[in-house]
């Protein structure tokens, strides 16, 4: 409990100092008071895992490679696909909401998956199934199949192996 509180307070104080852009004693005292009160109320919500897990350089490297190359590639390809659908005379779309299953168990991994899907044009994460962790509901511009196995190969498997390396 004390460790989570101290980590939350420390980072809130760092953010306070960066946002106020001054080390005047009035601002520092006000920052200490406000961040202590905020940390006492919200520390349980901010710090979920130990800070060393997030500072792992291998995970950080995989995250950079994922964002720059894999996610960047998927965003470019999805943009081209949506542009084709918009410019095509018959506009070949079959929109719908589909349920996808992921093998991700941690909230950070599931959030990364939901954000990755939402960032690629033509898909939008609509909801997360709280009763069955790892299931997401996605609005898809062109539903190619009603079968869950084909849907899972089409959307989440593009990101899942990378997100497991980073967050699991």
Q: Is 2 exposed, middle or buried (0-12, 13-18, 19+ CB in 10 A)?
A: exposed
Give the pLDDT confidence score for residue 51 in this predicted structure: 54
CA-angle at 54, arms to 49 and 44, nearest 5° = 25
pLDDT exceeds 90 at position 33:
yes
Among 2-16, 44-58, 65-79, 106-120, name the one with the lowest average pLDDT.
Answer: 44-58
pTM summary value: 0.68
Unique residue bearing structure tokens 């497991």: 164
| Mean pLDDT, residues 54-62 taken together | 78
Sheet with 123-128: list strands edge to edge: 96-101, 135-140, 123-128
pLDDT at position 130 is 76
At residue 148, does pLDDT exceed 90?
no
Average pLDDT value for residue range 149-167: 85
Highest mean pLDDT out of 3-17, 54-68, 77-91, 149-163? 77-91
SS3 48: coil
At 80-108, the pLDDT tens digits run 999 998 898 888 888 999 988 888 888 88
Q: Which one, of 67, 72, 49, lies nearest residue 168 by Cα?
A: 49
Query: For the chain, what is the mean pLDDT?
Result: 85
CB 159 within 8 A of CB 115: no
């Amino acid at each position: 409990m004390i460790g989570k509180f101290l980590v939350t307070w420390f980072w809130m104080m760092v953010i306070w100092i960066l946002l106020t852009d001054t080390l005047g004693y009035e601002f520092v005292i006000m920052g200490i008071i406000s961040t202590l009160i905020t940390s006492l109320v919200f520390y349980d919500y901010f710090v979920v895992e130990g800070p060393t897990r997030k500072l792992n350089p291998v995970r950080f490297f995989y995250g950079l490679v994922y964002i720059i190359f894999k996610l960047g590639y998927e965003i470019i390809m999805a943009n081209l696909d949506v542009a084709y659908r918009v410019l095509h005379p018959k506009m070949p779309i079959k929109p719908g909401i589909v349920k996808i299953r992921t093998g991700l168990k941690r909230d950070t991994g599931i959030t990364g998956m939901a954000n990755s899907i939402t960032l690629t044009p033509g898909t939008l994460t609509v909801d997360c199934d709280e009763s069955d962790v790892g299931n997401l509901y996605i609005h898809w511009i062109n539903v190619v199949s009603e079968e869950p196995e084909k849907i899972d190969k089409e959307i989440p498997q593009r990101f899942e192996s990378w997100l497991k390396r980073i967050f699991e």
